[in-house]
Structure 1
Amino acid sequence: MGPTLIRAPRGLRRIPGIGTRIGAFALVELQKLRHDRTELFTRLVQPALWLLIFGQTFSALDVIDTGDVPYLAFLAPGIIAQSALFISIFYGIQIIWDRDAGILAKLMVTPAPPTALITGKAFAAGVRSVVQVIGVVALAYLLGVHMTTNPLRILGAMGVVLLGSAFFACLSMSLAGLVRNRDRLMGIGQAITMPLFFASNALYPVELMPQWLRWLSAINPLSYEVNALRGLLIGTPTNAALDIAVLVVAAVLGVLTAAALLRRLVR
């Protein structure tokens, strides 16, 4: 009796295996936090400074019309999205480090598809960012800003941050595949971070923007992330279905683009 031929799973039967590989890659990324557990807390310094200095100053000046919503409450979800953006947009530097250390070449010869590797790293970037939600909500309460304490809404906000962070991490890894150099990537990351931030509704309502900036805001995924966070955390009216749909589509396209450019990075 001859040996039994075991066929590789095809079609939908591949999904459980791919899911396991994505989880493994994400776990490897998250385990890096064990070497510096203070990173999650030091990440809260920047949003705290934005709320304490920028937020309170502009609240006192009363120069930005946010309607019935206090400016600090209006600002807090934008600062969460901004902090997640700053964490994720330089994530491509890590993948270049992996290439230089020879780790990426070894991962590329495993049975896992490039999309699993990119998705795992993007998910890890999102998990690093979700701590901002709890930190900013807690700080906002200390400053007298009323934000939701509904655990389901806070979990929803974490999901929104995870999606937004996944897209910007994939954008960073796509740029890494194009430039293939840490210094160039850092320069590009610094060049696009502030335009992405200021061309969104994180600091001021869209209605106050000039028309050309409104157009940029309409195609900026960060604006949809901020809209969704405001709806969940402070209850402002928002088109939640559109916001989530844009973030999901952006994240999926980001994963596919970064995966397509990944092999170029290891050449």
Structure 2
Amino acid sequence: MSAAPAAPRPGSADPAEFDLLLTPPTARTGWRVAPARVVALCAVELQKLRHDRSELYTRAVQPALWLLVFGETFTRIKAIPTHGIPYIDYLAPGIIAQSAMFIAIFYGIMIIWERDAGILTKLLVTPTPRAALITGKAFAAGVKALIQAVVVIVIAAVLGVALTWNPLRLLGVAVAVVLGSAFFSCLSMTIAGIVLTRDRLMGIGQAITMPLFFASNALYPVALMPGWLQAISRVNPLTYQVDALRGLLLGTPSHLPLDYAVLAVAAALGIVAASSLLPRLAR
């Protein structure tokens, strides 16, 4: 019989263990760590919903009023040409985009609060890339907006809006909502890096939300706008988000490749702009 292997003597250690103690493993940096940090920061942001879910309920009031009051009234009046689609059906994708934008456009207030509480400074001294920090917050805003979009879709379905339930189209809706919200949250954080205070950011946010909303195709076709407003609408990312949502949910003619390209580029530029101003905000 072969002899059993000798048990290691007390106090002895494998040479490989000594190597590990003397030379610690190389930490992941750069692009290798960025995706994990983005997911982690996004999860931290979403944990806040577990402690205060009232925000979801209160934010559902305004979209419901738009659909119930504005949508039902203009459906009866038939003042806005919608190519044979009931106006409340035409309006529903616009209200989804509007409610998502309203959640994201004030996201800069949260990062200013984190600056005042000292949280932002602690995050900036970690190995987390600034772009990953901003991206995590941007996509957390997108997931919050996606929850709001589900609420609006349910309200619209109860009101009889003829929406699609095709899983692939709904997945496309989710992507459009997240990309659009990521851009508007980055726009808010960029403004926060410029104005540096919550009061100024609140004033600017309130000043730009309604112009962005009315200078889009959320309430009426772009063809009905005067020429100068059409030019603004064509550079407004909300227009492309509404176009994608309307095409996916209602099956109306749309330009999905262009819509997604504009939303993706806008979100990427927003991340770059907000990341570059983050150190200024933390001073």
Q: Tell me which interval the TM-score lies in, with the shorter structure as reference length.
A: over 0.9
Match of 1:125 in 2: 141
Root-mean-square deviation (CA, aligned residues, Å) is 1.4
- TM-score of the aligned structures, taking structure 2 as reference length: 0.90
- The 8 Å contact of residues 88 and 125 in structure 1, kept in 2 or not, is answered as yes
Contact 2:64 2:155 in 1 (8 A): yes
Identity %: 63
Aligned to 1:224: 240
For each residue in 1:115-161, what CA deviation from the matched residue of structure 2 results, as whole angstroms up to 9, or x when unmatched? Answer: 01100000110111112322222222222221111122112111110
Distance in 1, Cα, partners of 2:168 & 2:62: 26
Q: Which amino acid aligns with 1:34?
A: R
1:27 to 16, 40, 43: 43
Output one character per residue of 1:205-231: Cα deviation in whole Å (capped at 9) or x when no partner. Answer: 011011000000000000000000001
Matched, 1:207 2:223: yes
Match of 1:187 in 2: 203
Tell me, yes or no, if the aligned pair for 1:133 and 1:157 is still in contact at 8 Å.
no
CA-to-partner distance for each residue in 1:74-120, whole Å, 9 max, x for gaps? 10000000001111100000000000000000000000011011000
Aligned residues of 2:96 and 2:152 also touching (Cα < 8 A): yes
Q: Letter of the aligned partner of 1:155 in structure 2?
A: L
- What does the per-residue CA deviation read over 1:178-199, in whole Å, with 9 as the maximum and x for residues that have no partner? 0000000000000000000000
Runs of 4+ in 1 over 3 A off after TM superposition: 1-10
| CA distance in 1 between partners of 2:23 and 2:148 (Å) | 52
User: Is the CA contact 2:99–2:149 (under 8 Å) kept in the aligned structure 1?
Assistant: no
Supply the distance in 1 between the matched residues of 2:170 and 2:86 (Cα, whole angstroms): 20
TM-fit CA distance, 1:4: 3.5
Name the structure 2 match of 1:161: 177
- Superposed CA deviations along residues 20-50 of structure 1, whole A, max 9, x for unmatched, are 1111111111111111123223221111110
Question: Could you tell which deviates more after superposition, 206-215 or 39-48?
Answer: 39-48
| Amino acid aligned to 1:20 | A
What runs of 5+ residues in structure 1 fail to find an aligned partner? none
Alignment check: 8 A CA contact 1:126 1:161 kept: yes
More displaced 10-residue stretch of structure 1: 131-140 or 193-202: 131-140
What does residue range 247-262 of structure 1 map to in structure 2 within 5 Å? 247-262=263-278
Instruction: Indicate the residue corresponding to 1:68 in structure 2.
Output: 84
Hey, what's the Cα distance between the residues in 2 that align with 1:257 and 1:240?
26
Q: In structure 1, which of residues 170, 176, 185 is the aligned counterpart of residue 192 of structure 2?
A: 176
What is the number of equivalent residue pairs in this alignment? Answer: 264
Aligned to 1:263: 279
User: Is the contact between residue 96 and residue 153 of structure 2 (CA under 8 Å) also seen in structure 1?
Assistant: no
Q: TM-score, normalised by structure 1?
A: 0.95
Q: 1:148 aligns with which of 159, 164, 168?
A: 164
Task: Provide the C-alpha distance between the structure 2 equivalents of 1:156 and 1:90, rounded to a whole number of angstroms.
Answer: 25
Code of the aligned partner of 1:86: F
AA at the equivalent of 2:190: S
Q: In the alignment, is residue 94 of structure 1 matched against residue 107 of structure 2?
A: no
Largest Rg, 1 or 2: 2
The verdict on how the C-alpha distance between 1:5 and 1:32 changes in structure 2, with shifts beyond 3 A counting, is closer
Distance 1:133 1:235 in 2: 18
Moved more, 40-49 or 241-250: 40-49
Q: Which amino acid aligns with 2:46?
A: L
Unaligned 5+ runs, structure 2: 1-17
Instruction: Check conservation: 1:160, 1:229, Cα contact below 8 A.
Output: yes
